[in-house]
A = this chain, B = another copy of it.
Amino acid sequence: MIKVGVAGYGVIGQRLADGVALQEDMELVGIADLMPTLSIRALREKGMPYDLYLVDGADKNAFAAADIPVAGTFADLIGKVDVMLDSSPGGVGAKNKELYEKAGVKAVFQGGEKNSVADVFFHGYANYEKGLGANYLKLTSCNTTGLIRSVDCLDRAFGIDRVAITIIRRVADPGDYHRGLTNALQIDKAPSHQAVDLMTIMPHVEATGILVHTPVTHGHIITVVAHGKKGRITSEQALAAFKQHDRIRVVRIDEGFQGNASFFRYARDLGNPRGDMYEIGLWEDSIVESGDNIMFAINIPQESVTIPESIDAVRACMKMQPDSKTGTAATNKYLKLGGWRSIKGY
């Protein structure tokens, strides 16, 4: 059993903890945080299913006042694990790395850290093998993670040499008040970092893109214009490839998937914890051809999309499985991904 800890029990950290807890070949030792946030208070109200460790600087009295039991210090947690999943606020992970190094513990960082924090910039499908045995890995960001799933899927099936993306980005998560946008679309300087990151992970692809922030909370939508290296890819071919993927859910507008909020609605109705979805959505009705380009739109559930690839990263760095195929398959099995494919007519 690989022993795993989670640093930072925020939007991502909670989901990392839940995801690890579902892996039958991993043990979640505990989670670490600084303050009795709403998420920590919810953990308390649920009866502390995970042990809580306090990072340096935490105010013990605040936890006591909120009737929240504490299992130990951050150092205690690090001393008990093989690998840390670090989802601390951006920049804190780099500081934590010093503790991990001292303790001889591996770590997987999230997209908020600089690339330099890690030996490998990692994606479970596109470059799992690079992560094998590595000590420090950094996950791609939520948009890049989902984007690469779809581009890698087409690339393996047909060969892709160029993509142009438009990211229609959700600007905050549900429950955020510290950031937001009201009645405006905000544009970033091009090219977007997601296009640049895609080229780092998939160096044989030339990518560019534009990102526009929109005032919504339930998932980014990305349109992708991908160029077939060997010529035209038909909509039917692309669709068939996407439908085989365990982390891509193909949907149709007529089924009721009218936009990004439909995935959230559906996941809530499925009874998924927090209304989360690990898979990206891909609209069958959005796939169109233009010359040798294939164009399509995907939905990125920003809160949870990086969890599977983060668990893949644990598998890679701990050499639990030797390659992308077996590594992602193990993650998918425990997260029950792809089960929807058994529905007749999918």
Contacts and interface: CB of A to CB of B under 8 A. Distances in A.
Given A41-B256, A42-B270, A268-B275, A175 B184 contact: yes
Interface residues of A, number: 91
A175 B268 CA distance: 10
A65 to B, nearest CB: 6
A124 interface: no
Contact of A345 (B67, B177, B255, B273): B67
Interface in A170-184: 170-172, 174-177, 179-184
A174 B268 CA distance: 10
A213 B42 CA distance: 25
B206 A39 contact: no
Interface string A284-321: 01111111010111000000000000000000000000
Contact of A164 (B177, B258, B268, B290): B290
A223 interface: yes
A225 B227 contact: no
A343 interface: yes
A295 B171 contact: no
Contact of A187 (B39, B162, B218, B221): B221
Contacts of A177: 181, 184, 186, 258-259, 261
A190 interface: yes
A215 B216 contact: yes
A208 B168 contact: no
Contact of A42 (B37, B269, B345): B269
Interface string A216-245: 111101010101000000000000000000
Nearest to A214: B214
Given A184-B260, A187-B285, 15 more contacts: A14-B269, A41-B266, A66-B345, A162-B290, A174-B264, A175-B184, A177-B258, A184-B261, A185-B259, A208-B290, A209-B295, A215-B216, A268-B274, A268-B275, A271-B273
12 contacts: A38-B256, A38-B262, A45-B339, A171-B180, A177-B184, A180-B182, A182-B217, A185-B221, A190-B285, A190-B287, A212-B297, A268-B274
